[in-house]
Amino acid sequence: MSNNLTNQKELFGHPIGLFVLFFTEMWERFSYYGMRAILVLYLITEVAEKNPGLGWSNGEALALYGWYTMMVYVMSIPGGIIADKLLGQRKSVMVGCVLLVAGHGILAVEEMWAFYSGLVLIVLGVGMLKPNISTMVGGLYKQGDIRRDKGFTIFYIG
């Protein structure tokens, strides 16, 4: 993340970047688990005026849920490759964040194209963010720094 690890600002004895990464990861996990919690419920809820679900069958809803969950993790492979070969970790995380925000924003549009587009953007965003943000944590510490394990513990709480 930084070539000059000796002049980093610190907070609670850790590089301040750790806390930026912590809150970014926390936000992404909130997004992911929040979507997991409500996606199937939205899909199977009957179409009504007050509560507009999609009225899908349980089987259809669970199939989409399975594909969504699988693709969130599978897209980490191309996300890592793109970071390694083209953009770098920092830019990849930023692109992932923008895609996540765009995906959730598009989900607010009550059209089927927006629903599918939003899910795709969320999947792509997580694919860019997830494999790269963790490695950025390791880059905050010098090789052999005893604080590194504690830093990863703090990060994974997020």
pLDDT at 2: 45
Question: Each residue of 7-43: b (16+ CB within 10 Å) or e?
Answer: eeeeeeebbebbeebbebbeebeebbeebeeebbebb
Written as tens digits, the pLDDT of the chain (158 aa) is: 444 555 667 655 667 778 888 888 889 889 989 988 899 999 998 887 777 788 899 999 999 999 999 999 999 999 999 999 999 999 999 999 999 999 999 999 989 999 999 999 999 999 999 999 888 877 777 788 777 777 778 777 76
Burial of 133 (0-12, 13-18, 19+ CB in 10 A): buried
Report the alpha-carbon distance of residue 100 to residue 111 in Å, rounded.
Answer: 18
